[in-house]
Amino acid sequence: MRPGKRRGSLLAALVSALLVTLTLTAPAAYSAPPQDDPFYKPPSPLPAGKPGDIIRRQPVTAYIVPGIAMDAHAWRVMYLSNDAKGQRNAVTGTVLVPKKPYTGKRPLVGYAIGTHGLGDQCAPSYGLTTGLDYEATLINGFLAKGWAVVVTDYEKLGTPGDHTYMVGRSQGQAVLDSMRAATRLADANVAADSPMVVSGYSQGGSSAGWAAQLQRTYAPELSIKGVAAGGVPADLTEVAKALDGSLFFILLGAASVGLASAYPELPFTEHLNAAGKALMDDARDDCIGEAIATGKGAFKKMSDYLDVDLMNTPAWQEKLRANRLGGGEAPATPVFQYHGVYDEMVAKGQAKTLRKEWCEAGAKLLWKEYLLPEHALTAVAATGDVQNWLADRLAGKPATTNCS
C-alpha cells in the first residue's frame, strides 16, 4: 500500500468520526426527520404530470452549520421523476435562492450530492434544515455568487424504500428533473430558460456525469452550459474491485443494496449469509459518517457475506453495464472532469477511461488531476477551479479541452 494511500484512508476515517461527533452533539433538529414527516410520503397514486412537476412544496430555513442560516430563501420540494426502468416516481429536494437581487436571469446550479448514506435522515433536504449536511458550505459557495441552487435527494433517500445508491440513470434523471422543478416553483423566480450548470463530486460526480450524458435526450429544453464532475465512479465493476476488502467496503455493500432496490428482479438477499443480512440491515439506516467511523464492514470482502459471486453473474453484469458512464455517448455540453491522483475510494483508472471514451465520442472535456492522497480533500481543493470554470460557462466564454 502506498504511504499516501494509508494516510488518506486514516484521514477519511478521522473526518467521518468528526461528522459523527457533530451529529451527536448538535442541537435538536429543526424539523422531524423524514421517517416521521408526512411531507416525504408520496401520494398514491402519483398525480398526473410530467417530469419536474412539483407535487408539494414547503418553505424551510437552510443552515450552513447549526445556528447559522444561509442568506437564501429555501423550499423543500417533492417532484415527479423517473426511475432507472422508466417508471414514474417521486423525489424530494431543496430549492435555494439568494435573498439579494440578481441583475438579469439568475443562473441555476443543479447540485448533485456525494454519498450521504442509506438512512432517510441522511437526505440533504433534511440535513440542510439542521445545519448538519457536510456539503452545505460548498452549496453556500454557489449561493454567494448570486446563483440559485437545487439539491436533489435522489430516489428513495428520504422517501420510502431503499435508496437506489449509485444507480446512475436514476440519479442523472433526478438531477435534471430537480432543475425542471426549480423553474416551476413560482416563488423561486427562476426562469425556464435561465442559464444552468451542474456540479457534483463522488456519487455526485457520477450523477453529474449522467445528467450531462442524458440531457440531450431526456431534458433537451434545459439550457445547461457546463457540467463539473469530480471523483467520478463511472464503472461500478472497476470501482467494486478497489473497494472489496478495503476500509471502505461498506460503500460496495451500499451500492449492492442500491442496485437491488432499483432492480428488484436481481438476486441479492437470498444469497446473503447471516452476517451479510445483519450488515446490510444495519447499514440501511446509517449515514456515511457513522458507517465509516464505526468501521462497518471494514476490510471485508463480498465473498465473506455471499454464497455466490453475484457481481459476475450475467444478471448483475447486465445492470452494471446499463449504469456504466461512457460507452460511446458524449455529453452535449462542456465538461470539467477532475480526480485525485491517489484517490483511495474511487479508482482513478476507470475515471480516465471515461475521459478517453467521452473525448473519442466528441465531448468538449477538460481533465485535471489533483496531487492529493485522499478522496474528500480533492473536492475541497477543486472548489475554486470548479466555481471559476462554471462561472466562465455561464458568462458564455468558450470552453477549452485537453482531449488530445
- pLDDT average, residue stretch 307-331: 94
Question: Distances from the Cα of 339 to the Cαs of 325, 328, 358, in angstroms?
Answer: 16, 21, 15
Residue 373: predicted pLDDT: 82
Q: How many other CB atoms sit within 10 Å of the CB of residue 209?
A: 30
Choices 3.40.640.10, 3.50.50.60, 3.40.50.1820, 1.10.1200.10: CATH for 3-233+324-394: 3.40.50.1820
Helix (H) / strand (E) element for 359: namely helix 348-360
| DSSP code, position 4 | H
Q: How many other CB atoms sit within 10 Å of the CB of residue 105?
A: 14
Longest dimension (CA), the chain: 61
Q: What are the E-state strand segments in 173-249?
A: 196-201, 224-230
Q: In angstroms, what is the C-alpha Rg of the chain?
A: 20
This prediction's pTM: 0.93
Residue 25: predicted pLDDT: 35
- pLDDT average, residue stretch 361-379: 95
The cell for 115 is 454519498
- pLDDT average, residue stretch 356-362: 96
Residue 135: predicted pLDDT: 98
Range(s) for CATH 1.10.260.130 in the chain? Answer: 236-320
Tens digits of per-residue pLDDT, 93-107? Answer: 999 999 999 999 999
Query: Among 251, 271, 249, 266, which residue's Cα sits nearest to residue 320?
Result: 266
**CA angle in degrees (0–180, nearest 5) for 40-42-48:** 140
* pLDDT confidence band for 30 (50 / 70 / 90): low
CATH second-level architecture of 236-320? Orthogonal Bundle (1.10)
Query: Among 60, 173, 163, 171, which residue's Cα sits nearest to residue 121?
Result: 163
Residue 178: predicted pLDDT: 98
Q: What are the percentages of helix, strand and coil residues in the chain, rounded to 5?
A: 40, 20, 40
For residue 181, what are the β-bridge partners?
none
Q: Please determine, for residue 73, whether its predicted confidence score (pLDDT) is greater than 60.
A: yes
Q: Please determine, for residue 9, whether its predicted confidence score (pLDDT) is greater than 50.
A: no
Range(s) for CATH 3.40.50.1820 in the chain? Answer: 3-233+324-394
Signed CA dihedral, 256, 325, 347, 208: sign only: negative
Residue 1: predicted pLDDT: 32
- What's the mean per-residue pLDDT of the chain? 92
Judge residue 87's burial from the number of C-beta atoms within 10 Å of its C-beta, 0-12 exposed, 13-18 middle, 19 or more buried.
Answer: exposed
